[in-house]
Structure formats: structure tokens, C-alpha cells
């Protein structure tokens, strides 16, 4: 006689399945034992059938920091699967805020079914999703993730030492209610460092903002790229750091991150522009913003640049030898942008460079390849008249075949071309090395040519030109240029 035979004759086994399910549901709603549904299913075959075929028993998910991340992820995925198609609740208990996102990562893809999220331990929050009219047809309800990297200052954040109102993000979940459309949900986390890739499941967010909070934090490019590999659906990425170098990167430690949906990238106040741009594959990128990346101190040679055989194209010094107050960051920015364009060939339409510069040779290289760029804005650049001169038309045949002997009558206008052929908006702000004469000559020649081309249906022409705060651009230059541009010119 088997040991299970007497148990099958006990009164509890004669209960109807509906009543057993109610008992099991009540038992599973117990934070002290997060594995109750599994344990119940191991008692006997009858109970196993009931638990495995009853989604209600799996509607409560309890995740704890002291469990290995891989086990917590498997548990969350299994509970989400077994509770389908019913909604479910999640409770997370952590002693360090840094573990909240890793534990939540397998849940984010199924937030359309999430009813309530409870966080306890180092952070206390109860977020009831049922009181908002979210668009539940979307798998991930989170529109944006904001991560504030605080370094050692984040280690003091706990329930005893800090009031929730004193924290940078007192609530992790935040709901915005636009005037039209369903409410939008975002997450805000203040952490010691970005989560490790090994502790994460891919998260289906489309917008990510990473901000390094203080000078105590140095950019860990390796860790950031590994974290970005967990966000394959990203469409918008903002990163703000500090203009200081981090620790040297060992060769082979940087990984290429594929972000096939990324359309907007902003890098601000960081010395890691090259490392980031060289290791992101963004074939859909349309807008690139580089802000406050110029530094006047020498950057150490990056290990992935050193000892390359043969040296990467453009690695040599700039043959133009133009003046620069930030030659090392100019070199890094230019080489990073070259790498991004060569690898991804993105349909870039907007390029904003705000106190972010390149060498003359890098401007030329990029201008000759950004055929879809429609908007170019540059602020505080040391670029020379040579760069501005690149905006003027050039003779394509002369460059290609060396036919310098052609006479004007033998040289039809169709043999001329312009770099950045799709450019319609140009803004030049506080560029003190550019002369007014160079601006007038290049822009007059360009606009006359592109106006003619637009009339012939052969391309686009300038819609707006703004020249602001350029000390060498005088009143008479503005008057002369306005004769060609008219009200398309804005001058301060």
C-alpha cells in the first residue's frame, strides 16, 4: 500500500475542486511563503492538477532581494504565465533600492495585467494601477524610466535616515495626465549605480534618462553599455554626466549595443562621448544632441583606440591646424561621430552641438555623409572659416575628375553640388572664430544655388538661418546677407 492512499481518503480530498481552489487562493496570499502554490502542487497529483490549472492561485507574486536574481526572475515569469489571463499583484521587499528595478524587470513586459505593486523595506510605496484609466492593450505601461545615479550618497537612503519627502524621487511610480489621451506612467529611481546586466531581464521601455547626480560619480561606460543592452526597444536616450574621466577601460570590455529603434540620443557633460558613440548601433537614429562636452584638458588615450593596426581612419592630427580651445575632446567627439555614422548609417535629420566641437576634418567628413540632415545647430564652437566655407556649393566634376580647365560656358550648373543637401534650418550661436565675411559669402552662395535647385525641383533650400552672438558678424554683414535671405534670416 502506498503512503499516499490514506491521504486520498481524508475528508479534505472529498471537497469539491471549487472549494479547494478558494482555500488555495487564501493560502497563496501569504508574504511569508512566496512559493505556496508550488508547495501545494507537490502534495499529491490531485492538488497538482488543481493548482496548475487554476490561474487564481498564482495571482500574488512575492519577490525578495535575498534570493538570487535568476531564481527571482524565473519565479516571476512562471507566476505571470500561470496567472494568465487574470490580473496579478506584486510585492517586492528589498534592503537596497538598487535591487528594485532588477526584481521588477521581468514584470514590466506584463504591466497591462498588473493591478497593484507594493514595495517594502528600504523604500515604502503602494501603487494601485486600477484607479487609472491606462491603455491596457499595451504590454508595458511605463513610458519613461528616469535613473538618478547618486554614488555613495545613495547608500544612506533608508527608511530610518531619510524622510520620503527629502529623497530625490519620493515615489518610484509617477502618473501624468495629458489633456487628451490616456494617462502616462513613468518610473523614477535613485540608485548607487546602474543595475548589473546579470541581474536584469530585458525591459520594454521606450524612453530612458540616466543622470549622474554628483562629482562622486564617474561614468562607468562598461556598466552603462551593458545596462543599455537590456533596453532593446529604446527610442529615446538621454545621458547626463560630469566632465571628468573615469577609470581606464580594459581592452575588450566594451560591448556593441544594438538599439534598432533608437531615434533620439542626447549626451551631455561627459568625457565618454567617443566610447558611447563608438559602441552604439542605432540604424534608425534621427536626432543627435551633443551638449557641453568640450573640455580643455587632455583626455587619456582610450584602450580601444590604442595600438590599432592600421590606425582608424581620421585618427591622425587635423591637417587644417585650426585653432581650438578643446583639441582633445574635439578629436574624441569627431571620431565617435564618424564611428556611429559608418556603422549605423542612420537617417540623421537633426544635429545639435551645444558647446560640443569637432576638428575641421571631422566636420568635412560628416558634412559629406549627412545627406538627410535638415537641421544643424551649433553653439560656442571654435570652428574656423574653413568649416563655414564647406556649406557653399562646390564643383563636383573638379573634385572627382580634376577638370580644372573647364570654362564657365562648358560647365553647366548641374555639375555643382552642396554638402548637407537636405539642410533647411541652420543656427550658429556664439561662434567667435568665424568671420562675418565668411558667413556672408558661404551662405549667399549656398542660398542662391539651393533656391535655384528648389525652383527646378532638384532639392531643398534654406527655410531659416539664425546667427546669434557671433562677435565677428557685424551689422553690415547682416544687412548684406538679408538681401539674399530676406525674412529667413534672424540676427542678434
Q: Where are the domains of the chain?
A: 139-400+407-491
| Whether 388 contacts 438, CB under 8 Å | yes
67 has a pLDDT exceeding 90: no
> Residue 135: pLDDT above 90?
no
Residue 303: predicted pLDDT: 46
Cell of residue 260, nine digits: 534598432
What pLDDT score was predicted for residue 267?
A: 98
pLDDT bracket for residue 49 (50, 70, 90): confident
| 51 vs 450 pLDDT, higher one | 450
Hey, what's the cell of 256?
A: 556593441
Minimum mean pLDDT among 114-128, 335-349, 411-425: which range? 411-425
Contact criterion met (CB below 8 Å) for 111 and 66: no
Mean pLDDT of 47-73: 84
Closest alpha carbon to 318 in 387, 418, 270, 271: 387
Find the mean pLDDT for residues 144-172.
Answer: 71
Q: State pTM to two decimals.
A: 0.88
Average pLDDT over residues 299-316: 62
Q: Which residues contact 231 (CB under 8 A, 6 or more apart)?
A: 202, 203, 205, 208, 259
Q: Which range (41-55, 65-79, 118-132, 298-312) has the least confidence? A: 298-312
Q: CA 447 to CA 193: how far, in whole Å?
A: 50
pLDDT of residue 459: 85
Q: What is the pLDDT of residue 159?
A: 41
Is 312 or 156 the better-scoring residue by pLDDT? Answer: 312
Residue 86 has pLDDT above 70, yes or no: yes
Residues 216-253: pLDDT tens digits? 888 899 999 999 999 999 999 999 999 887 777 776 77
> Given pLDDT bands bounded at 50, 70 and 90, which one contains residue 45?
confident
Question: What pLDDT does 408 receive?
Answer: 47
pLDDT for residue 10 is more than 80: no
Q: What is the pLDDT of residue 315?
A: 85
pLDDT higher than threshold 70 for residue 401: no
- Per-residue model confidence as pLDDT tens digits over 175-227: 998 888 889 999 999 999 999 999 999 999 999 999 998 888 888 999 999 99
**139-400+407-491 has which CATH code?**
3.80.10
- The chain-wide mean pLDDT, for the chain, equals 86
- pLDDT of 160 > 50? The answer is no
Sequence-separated (6 or more) residues with CB below 8 Å from residue 363: 334, 383, 387, 390
pLDDT, one tens digit per residue, over 333-347 is: 999 999 999 999 999
As a whole number, mean pLDDT of residues 422-448 equals 96
Contact 103, 63 (CB under 8 A): yes
- Rounded to an integer, the average pLDDT of 141-165 is 72
Report whether pLDDT(457) > 70.
yes
Amino acid at each position: 500500500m502506498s503512503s499516499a492512499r490514506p491521504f486520498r481518503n481524508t475528508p479534505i480530498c472529498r471537497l469539491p475542486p471549487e472549494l479547494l481552489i478558494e482555500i488555495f487562493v487564501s493560502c497563496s496570499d501569504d508574504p511569508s511563503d512566496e512559493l505556496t502554490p508550488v508547495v501545494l502542487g507537490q502534495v499529491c497529483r490531485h492538488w497538482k492538477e488543481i493548482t496548475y490549472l487554476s490561474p487564481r492561485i498564482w495571482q500574488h507574486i512575492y519577490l525578495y532581494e535575498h534570493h538570487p536574481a535568476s531564481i527571482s526572475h524565473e519565479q516571476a515569469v512562471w507566476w505571470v504565465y500561470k496567472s494568465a489571463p487574470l490580473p496579478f499583484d506584486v510585492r517586492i521587499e528589498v534592503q537596497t533600492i538598487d535591487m528594485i528595478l532588477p526584481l521588477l524587470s521581468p514584470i514590466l513586459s506584463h504591466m497591462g495585467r498588473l493591478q497593484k505593486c507594493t514595495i517594502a523595506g528600504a523604500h515604502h510605496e503602494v501603487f494601485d494601477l486600477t484607479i487609472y484609466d491606462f491603455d491596457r492593450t499595451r504590454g508595458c505601461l511605463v513610458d519613461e524610466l528616469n535613473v538618478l545615479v547618486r554614488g555613495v550618497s545613495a547608500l544612506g537612503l533608508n527608511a530610518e535616515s531619510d524622510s520620503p519627502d527629502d529623497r530625490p524621487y519620493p515615489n518610484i511610480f509617477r502618473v501624468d495626465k495629458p489633456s487628451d489621451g490616456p494617462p502616462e506612467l513613468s518610473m523614477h529611481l535613485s540608485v548607487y549605480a546602474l543595475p548589473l546586466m546579470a541581474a536584469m531581464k530585458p525591459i520594454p521601455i521606450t524612453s530612458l534618462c540616466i543622470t549622474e547626480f554628483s562629482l562622486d560619480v564617474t561614468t562607468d561606460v562598461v556598466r552603462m553599455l551593458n545596462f543599455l543592452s537590456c533596453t532593446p526597444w529604446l527610442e529615446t536616450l538621454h545621458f547626463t554626466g560630469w566632465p571628468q574621466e573615469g577609470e581606464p577601460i580594459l581592452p575588450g570590455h566594451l560591448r556593441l549595443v544594438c538599439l534598432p529603434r533608437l531615434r533620439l540620443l542626447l549626451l551631455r557633460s561627459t568625457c565618454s562621448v567617443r566610447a558611447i558613440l563608438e559602441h552604439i548601433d542605432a540604424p534608425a537614429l534621427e536626432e543627435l544632441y551633443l551638449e557641453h562636452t568640450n573640455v580643455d584638458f587632455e583626455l587619456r588615450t582610450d584602450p580601444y583606440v590604442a595600438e590599432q593596426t592600421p590606425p582608424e581612419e581620421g585618427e591622425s592630427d587635423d591637417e587644417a591646424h585650426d585653432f581650438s580651445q578643446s583639441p582633445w575632446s574635439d578629436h574624441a567627439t569627431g571620431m565617435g561621430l564618424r564611428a556611429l555614422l559608418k556603422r549605423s548609417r542612420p537617417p540623421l535629420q537633426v544635429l545639435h552641438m551645444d558647446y560640443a566641437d569637432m576638428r575641421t576634418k571631422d566636420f568635412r567628413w560628416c558634412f559629406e555623409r549627412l545627406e538627410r540632415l535638415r537641421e544643424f545647430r551649433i553653439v560656442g564652437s571654435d570652428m574656423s572659416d574653413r568649416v563655414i566655407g564647406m556649406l557653399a556649393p562646390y564643383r563636383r566634376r573638379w573634385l572627382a575628375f580634376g577638370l580644372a580647365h573647364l570654362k564657365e560656358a562648358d560647365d553647366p550648373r548641374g555639375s555643382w553640388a552642396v554638402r548637407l543637401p537636405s539642410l533647411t534650418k541652420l543656427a550658429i550661436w556664439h561662434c567667435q572664430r568665424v568671420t562675418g565675411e565668411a558667413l556672408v559669402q558661404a551662405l549667399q552662395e549656398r542660398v542662391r544655388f539651393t533656391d535655384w535647385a528648389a525652383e527646378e525641383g532638384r532639392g531643398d533650400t534654406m527655410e531659416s538661418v539664425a546667427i546669434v552672438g557671433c562677435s565677428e558678424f557685424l551689422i553690415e554683414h547682416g544687412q548684406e546677407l538679408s538681401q539674399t535671405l530676406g525674412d529667413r534670416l534672424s540676427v542678434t
